[in-house]
A and B are shown apart, each in its own frame.
Chain A
């Protein structure tokens, strides 16, 4: 699959805060309806799924269709109750999974 994902997660939050997470990954998201110069359909090749987990438990996911733009951008919330580790995954049509982790601390 593609390049390294970039994810923006606050370094810390107060218990009970709802934070905003922003994620971006480079991928051309070939929709499967385009044709090449010979008139052949260029096969579909997209990231079709994204998940966000906290300490191993998925709390948010997206089923992604070809209408999502290239270099898919996703912004979504998460309620932080304790310090821990976020794990994000992107899966493409070939079944390749890219994973990215980020820790968050609790504000004292």
Chain B
């Protein structure tokens, strides 16, 4: 594998990264998050409201060369006024040892409901974003990220 400079946050570390990801998430036999864990986390976050698709643009790479540092960004459409704004956005990794990645809390003073960070993904999986609006409605979307372990291909 070759490294090439890339503007921004991704670092290409090759197979050492693959080994590090496996070591990082451990071999304790704990297993990975089940679908129920994800839905339970979303249920708690949303207070039981039904999540509808849309409003959220979730940006993740199709293929993550380094599972230790995967860029994730989102934008939620909203006027961000006192009458109507995005309160919180939760990011989950459906197949990590535990699904929660981060929960972002906004106010109208944010101006826009968007954020970026970098996350750890143990393996190829769906990343889920759930947005809770000030009126209690819930939106969700997901994207699949292939995590390359030990070389080319997922």
Contacts and interface: CB of A to CB of B under 8 A. Distances in A.
B111 A78 contact: yes
Interface of B: 9, 23-28, 30, 68-70, 73, 80, 93, 96-98, 100-112, 114-121
Nearest to A42: B26
Given A33-B28, A67-B120, A70-B68, A79 B102 contact: no
A31 B115 contact: no
Interface of A: 18-19, 31, 33-35, 41, 54, 57-70, 72-79
B103 to A, nearest CB: 4
A67 B109 contact: no
B101 A65 contact: yes
Contacts of A41: 26, 28
Contacts of A73: 9, 116-118
B26 A59 contact: no
Contacts of B73: 75
Contacts of A67: 93, 96, 98, 100-102, 119-121
A72 B119 CA distance: 9
18 contacts: A18-B112, A31-B25, A33-B97, A35-B28, A60-B107, A62-B103, A62-B115, A62-B117, A67-B100, A69-B68, A69-B117, A72-B117, A73-B116, A73-B117, A75-B73, A75-B115, A79-B108, A79-B110
Which of A31, A33, A72 has the most chain B CB atoms closer than 10 A to its own CB?
A33
Nearest to B67: A69
B13 to A, nearest CB: 12
Contacts of B102: 62-65, 67-68
Contacts of B117: 62, 68-69, 72-75
